[in-house]
Amino acid sequence: MSLQETSPPTVALGFEQCWIRTLMPANRSKAKDSQVQVRRMAPVEREVALGASEESFAAVLEAKIQQLVQRNQNLVEHSEQMRNEQLRLLKRSKESEISIAELEAEQSGLRRLQLEAIAKIGDQERRLAEALREKEALQQRMQEMDVETRALSEMVQSARNELRLAKERTKEKDSTIAEFQRQLDEAKNVQQQQANKLGKFHDLAEMLGSLASNKENKH
């Protein structure tokens, strides 16, 4: 069915449908009262409004319909492209969500490892602090032992000096004792000699007494 057989020709042209009804031959008297609207129309539509034939109007209308069909087709294709793009973006969004979840899991693992490393570092620092304290205590103890060792060394040296002096005094005493012993031995010898002499004197006196007694007896 051609466009000329439709009566009246009504096409879903949006705001243009009212102008199509106005431009039909039966309504041309109304078109004269609508010159302001005619000036705003496209050149081809203005030509139809100013007195074009019904066939020209049908051709224009057919061309307009083709344009609208083509525009509708373009819109359908564009809608399909948009839908495909939306699906692609949705797919990428899901992939991104998976990647984000993986990254968050990896980040959580790294955070856990970081916390473990921080804990280990803290433990190592604590052990190092304890080792340093022990080292300081050992150094202080070594210093105290050095002082004690020096004091002991001084005491040993003093004891050695006293021992040396004691030995020297002992030697002196030994020498004095030996001198005393020599003198005692000499005194004993003198005493013995005197005793011997005294004994001889006693013997001599006895012998003299015996002789004197014998002389008296003879007289």
Q: Which residue has the higher pLDDT, 159 or 205?
A: 159
Helix, strand, coil abundance in the chain, percent, nearest 5:
90, 0, 10
Q: Map residue 34 onto helix, strand or coil.
A: coil
**Phi, psi at residue 112, to the nearest 5°?**
-65, -45
Does residue 54 contact residue 3 with C-beta atoms inside 8 Å?
Answer: no
pLDDT of residue 144: 92
- Single pTM value for the model: 0.33
SS3 112: helix
Q: What is the rounded CA–CA span in Å between residue 196 and residue 130?
A: 94
Q: What is the pLDDT of residues 14-24, one digit of tens each?
A: 444 444 444 44
The radius of gyration of the chain's CA atoms, rounded to the nearest angstrom, is: 76
Domain boundaries, the chain: 3-89
pLDDT at 35 over 70: no
CA gap 165, 214 in Å, rounded: 72
User: What is d(CA 16, CA 14) in angstroms, rounded to the nearest whole number?
Assistant: 5
Q: Is omega for the bond preceding 25 within 30 degrees of 0, making it cis?
A: no
For residue 52, is pLDDT > 80? Answer: no
* pLDDT for res 81: 87
**pLDDT at res. 29:** 46
Chain centroid to Cα 174, Å, comes to 80
Query: In the chain, which ranges are E strands?
Result: none
Percentage of the chain lying above the pLDDT 90 cut? 7
* pLDDT value of position 133: 92
Instruction: Report whether 8 contacts 25 (CB < 8 A).
Output: no
Per-residue pLDDT tens digits for 102-156: 778 888 888 888 899 899 998 889 998 998 999 899 899 999 998 999 998 899 8
